Amino acid sequence: MNLITGKHISRREVLRGLGATVALPLLDAMTPAGRLWAQSGGSAVTDATRLVAIEMVHGAAGSSEYGASENLWSPAVVGRDFDLSPTSLSSLEPFRKHLTIISNTDVRGAEATKAGEIGGDHFRSSATFLTQAHPKQTEGSDVFVGTSLDQLFAQRFGQDTPIPSMQLCIENINQSGGCAYGYTCVYTDSISWASPTEPLPVIRDPRVAFEQLFGSGGTAKDRAARRQANRSILDWIAGRVAELQRELGPGDRRRLDRYLQDIREIERRIEMVEAYNSSGELRELPEAPAGVPDSFEEHVKLMFDLQVLAFQSDTTRVFSLKMGRDSSARVYAESGSDKPFHPASHHGGNEKAIEEFALINRYHVGMLPYFLEKLRDTMDGDASLLDKAVIIYGSPMGDPNVHNHKRCPLFVVGGANGRLAGNMHLKAPAGTPMANVMLSLLHTMGLDDMESFGDSTGDFSLTI
């Protein structure tokens, strides 16, 4: 550790230029002069938990009767000695010590409660995932569901960051009006709700997310001028970077250089995507903005990389990511299946078709190790971002073939600042609401005073 006696930089120091505002990663020089991280009093910033809530629609092959018998989602053994190899979670083996699997919970808020709601599972499910509440059936603006878990956390622990939370998505959700079965599309499109009546807008375009994180300085005219000049965002802060580097010790200079290089690399990748998509070449996603890659994998990786940078700089501590959209016909050829997603989910109980849908589930989960590795390898004070994170991955649907919401997929990765033990498979008693797990996660993340959440009936122990 290289501290400069008498020098202290604010954790909220930013580098400003024309249409650019770049927050800094955590540096040794941000501690009180001459003190180690462990001696700095455990500040709220250094100990802050980072939350990512990821929804993947359409449930899982392992939620069907045959899939459960073959352990296509959750492992056979409860406890710590489980085998991930048959499951769709096998790619998470390198992160086993940070992995908590919770199986056999139900999302009752997504079930139909009256005859007119029957058949509308695809069009209300996403709204229930992080709220665990039942959406009001309406095609108008009088929506009502619940405040989502990520927003409860952001309202308590995200208000001292420049951006309290960010909402990202991969699929096109720019629809409006009614979807089907009497539900407005906002229920299908939104997983983050600031209040029961306030769905939060999502960002699909990595360029838009990048600009929100790093291009907020100056006016819209300034930002437009910077982009038109065809120069990196870092060019506009180069002078301030040089000044700052002279104030830092060798370790901090290296840390800052790596961080700025990562920003430039993401910016370069976005520019390459935009250049290709504006070239006139035939696109797989012709309706998508120029900044959206046609490749699902590249799109997801860009969104994950942006989250890592945001966590490093403490620009925000809260993300939600909607990785799919109900009734999507997207084909994930890299998974080993050439079936469109929605038709593949309706496997008809056929064993071969269930196993093929499991390939798509495995592919989707297989996107996470890239993100988890980046978090694990990024230090924030004396611990990694993965040690400080809670990454929730799940679905509000169980067996998509019958549109039920039982035995829904759910797992958590991360250490939650030492509050999650990891290396654990917990199987809930039949009929346990997923809301019980969400309530316990809220407690784990510091909202100890919450007595209920959604349709919870009590806590769910996250230890054996």
Q: How many residues does the chain have?
A: 464
Strands (E), 259-304: none
The CA R_g of the chain, rounded to the nearest whole Å, is 22
Q: Check residue 50 and give its pLDDT.
A: 98
Q: What pLDDT shows up at residue 4?
A: 42
Domain boundaries defined on the chain: 1-47+209-291, 53-204+296-304+317-464
Instruction: Report, as an integer, the average pLDDT of 326-352.
Output: 97
pLDDT confidence of residue 33 = 43
Please compute the mean of the pLDDT values over residues 364-374 and round it to a whole number. 98
Contact call for residues 207 and 168 (beta carbons, < 8 A): no
Model confidence at 6: pLDDT above 80: no
Contact 184, 139 (CB under 8 A): yes
Give residue 146's pLDDT. Answer: 98
Q: What is the per-residue pLDDT for 47?
A: 81
Judged against a pLDDT cut of 70, whether residue 75 lies above it is answered with: yes
Out of 79-88, 215-224, 256-265, 384-393, which region has the weakest mean confidence (pLDDT)?
215-224
As a whole number, the mean pLDDT across the chain is: 92
Alpha helices in 106-173 (DSSP H): 121-129, 149-157
What is the per-residue pLDDT for 178?
A: 67
Whether residue 230 is predicted with pLDDT greater than 90 in this model: the reply is: no
Q: Is the pLDDT of residue 217 over 70?
A: no
**Predicted pLDDT of residue 8:** 76
From CA 409, how far away is CA 413, in angstroms rounded? 14
pLDDT digits (tens, 9 = 90+) for 152-189: 999 999 999 999 999 999 998 765 566 899 999 999 99
Mean pLDDT across the stretch 25-42? 64
SS3 17: strand
pLDDT-derived band at 375 (thresholds 50, 70, 90) equals very high
- Note the helical H segments in 106-161: 121-129, 149-157
1 pLDDT exceeds 50? no
pLDDT of residue 220: 66
Interval 43-59: pLDDT, tens: 545 589 999 999 999 99
- C-alpha pair distances (Å), 340 with each of 120, 321, 327, 343: 20, 21, 10, 6
d(CA 371, CA 389): 12
pLDDT number for residue 264: 96
Model pLDDT, residue 41: 46
Fold of 53-204+296-304+317-464: Alkaline Phosphatase, subunit A (3.40.720)
Please report which helix (H) or strand (E) contains residue 412, including its range: strand 410-413
Q: Which residues contact 171 (CB under 8 A, 6 or more apart)?
A: 204, 322, 323, 324, 325, 328, 330
Judge whether 163 and 120 are in contact, CB under 8 Å.
no
Return the structure tokens found at 216: 């907020």
Residue entry with tokens 């989960």: 365
Question: Is the pLDDT score of 216 beyond 50?
Answer: yes
Give the model's confidence band at 223: pLDDT under 50 very low, under 70 low, under 90 confident, else very high.
low
Q: Tell me the per-residue pLDDT of 107-163, one tens digit each, with 9 for 90 and over.
A: 999 999 999 999 999 999 999 999 999 999 999 999 999 999 999 999 999 999 999
What tokens were used for 219?
């006016």
Residue 15 is classified by DSSP as E
Exposure of 11 in the CB half-sphere (CA atoms within 13 A): 19
pLDDT value for 38: 47
* Amino acid at site 138: T
